[in-house]
Amino acid sequence: MATLKEEAKAYEPPCTLNIADIEKIPLNLEVKDGEGKDSEGEPFKYKYTTIEGKDYRIAGSILGGIKAILEKIPNTQFFTVLRTGTGLNTRYQVLPWVENKEEVV
């Protein structure tokens, strides 16, 4: 049995990361619905996935970008996300994953 001190040192508060933090993202991930509260205490809903025990939020604009890719390249298996800005000014660009980037012209 662990002591309170050991538990406190090992404690990591629950948090949801961002899918853009992952370099190569598979399209076969299970998507779940989540709920949270904003800085003013107002509830909001979001989509997320769990990878290796960590939850990653998926912005609606990312889902829209994936949809656009799949319409043009239906056999896409992986994608990546470029993120610019912070907070409410964050913008995402979804790109199909390219395995060998040196060969892309």
pLDDT in tens, 4-37: 999 999 888 878 899 999 999 999 999 999 998 8
Residue 2, in any domain of the structure: no
Residue 86 structural domain: 15-99
pLDDT in tens, 60-91: 999 999 999 999 999 999 999 999 998 889 99
Q: How many domains does the chain have?
A: 1
Cα(8)–Cα(2) distance, integer angstroms:
10
Q: Is the confidence at residue 101, as pLDDT, over 80? A: no
Residue 67, in any domain of the structure: yes
In this structure, what token pair is assigned to residue 68? 């656009």
Residue 55, in any domain of the structure: yes
pLDDT in tens, 33-57: 999 888 899 999 999 999 998 999 9
List, as one string, the DSSP characters of 43-73.
EEEEEEEEETTEEEEE-HHHHHHHHHHHHH-
- The pTM assigned to this predicted structure is 0.78
- Which residues have C-beta within 8 Å of that of residue 81, sequence separation ≥ 6? 19, 20, 22, 25, 62, 65, 92, 93, 94, 95
